[in-house]
Amino acid sequence: MIDFDIRPSGHPVPDAEREAMLRSPGFGQLFTDHMITLRWSAERGWHDGRLEAYGPFTLDPATSVFHYSQEFFEGLKAYRQDNGSITMFRPDANAARFNGSARRMAMPELPEETFIRALELLVAQDREWVPAGEGNSLYLRPFMIATQRGLGVNHPSSEYLFCAIASPAASYFSGGVKPVTVWLSEEYTRAAPGGTGGVKTGGNYAAAFVAQQQAVDRGCDQVVWLDAAEHRWVEEMGGMNLFFVRGSAGVLRPRFGWRGDPVDHDTAADRDAAARDHP
């Protein structure tokens, strides 16, 4: 087990000021009083673990991370329970993913127990920064950067810095969770596409609108139509799917979007084709 030197801040944020800040923390803009630092070198391995006052680093302009981007981060949350206790969500899984990233980046792995211990120390020291209220949390950001001074890409850095900082965060859904019902159809095949333009225009909506009617009949708010027969083509085109989103008049309107885009990512051509082919 790697030891950490506990060095509490001599100038923590006053209680009244902190409480005012926690009333509307937003995300990623406020930071707690402390951070964790831990260093690694080829000669000594992991060493100089500290819990210390949150503050800036001093790095040489030739530090490797600035020039060769050898760095990565994780993210997880700690929550205040009804009984006042603080819990983290699956830190062991984040520790495993952290080390997976380290291997891919040719950086040293951090023992899982050390990763968890570092976060436990930080949360325990700054527990008053964990906001109460449903959905609110203390966001934890552990990361590692290459700190060797010098230029050259013939080998990875020989020195690294592990750091963990914490930021109080408001609920992700500021207006509360508002689930929608979704109808998923894979039963119908649209006309063979002739490039993206052939899909977006030219009346190729016919089969997909059967899925739309199924969603309407079942009172769903949204339908996603996936064409299993064209799955390979969809993948080659970057994963384009056709969505239908219920509009203000209660009618499901078509939307095209790339996988991961918002479902209302559409074009004037999409809207014109929908209005022409299915008024």
Q: Which residues are catalytic?
A: 200
Q: Which two tokens stand for residue 92?
A: 């062991």
Task: Report the sign of the C-alpha dihedral through residues 11, 15, 21, 24, in that order.
Answer: positive
Question: What is the DSSP secondary structure assignment for residue 91, as one 8-state letter?
Answer: H
Half-sphere exposure of 40 (CA within 13 A, CB side): 19
Half-sphere exposure of 143 (CA within 13 A, CB side): 16
Task: Report the sign of the C-alpha dihedral through residues 266, 271, 277, 279, in that order.
Answer: positive
> How far is CA 259 from each of CA 99, 202, 252, 256, rounded to the nearest angstrom?
28, 23, 19, 10
Rounded to the nearest 10 degrees, the angle between the axes of helix 112-125 and helix 91-104 is 130
